[in-house]
Amino acid sequence: MPELISEDYIWEFKYLFVQRNCILENLELHTTPWSSCECLFDDDIRAITFKAKFQNNMPSFVKMSDLATHLEDKCSGVILIKALILELVFPITAAQKVVLNAHSSLKSIFSSLPNIIYTGCAKCGLELETDENKIYKQCFSCLPCTMKKIYYRPALMTIVDGIYKVRIHVESKLIEKILLNISPDQLKRIIGIACHYSRISSATCD
């Protein structure tokens, strides 16, 4: 997680939906089927252009977009906001959740990996339950389709811009982009060798 909140990373978010949470009395950003998120690396032309325009020789009259201002205004189109990702929260059940942030240890991250992915219907994404024999049940709504697929669980992402914090509901596909395009299938394979990797890391530290 530390690399997700590095100040040196530039992220591009597009087409987020703003909604007021009447219970928490704050504004939330939600992803939609049209939303996109991408981490721009140093050699990306967009990152190079951004740094050349806003970071190197920034005139005094050029200011970075303020998150609070744009949340209060009704606007459409592409806006530029610099913010830090504080944490990702993956709801598992009503009483269980996985929290990943800068304070998460490597051990806790590895132990959380099996819980942030799930096996679901390849057509609608519904999480599939297993029977007493650990065999996945069918998604009756999508029959005759019986294909299964590995998904990331949707998460609640907290970002901060100055004194303002905003929570964004992020869907499975965007979670994959935030995690540097590591697919859920790749992560599942990583889980299989996580214990072995932990032993190697422990031996190296000793």
56-91 pLDDT tens trace: 554 444 355 667 676 666 666 666 677 788 999 999
pLDDT at 73: 67
Note if the pTM is more than 0.95. Answer: no
pLDDT beneath 70: ranges in the chain: 1-8, 22-25, 55-66, 68, 70-80, 193-206
pLDDT at 116: 93
pLDDT at 24: 62
Residue with tokens 């996945």: 136
pLDDT at 198: 55
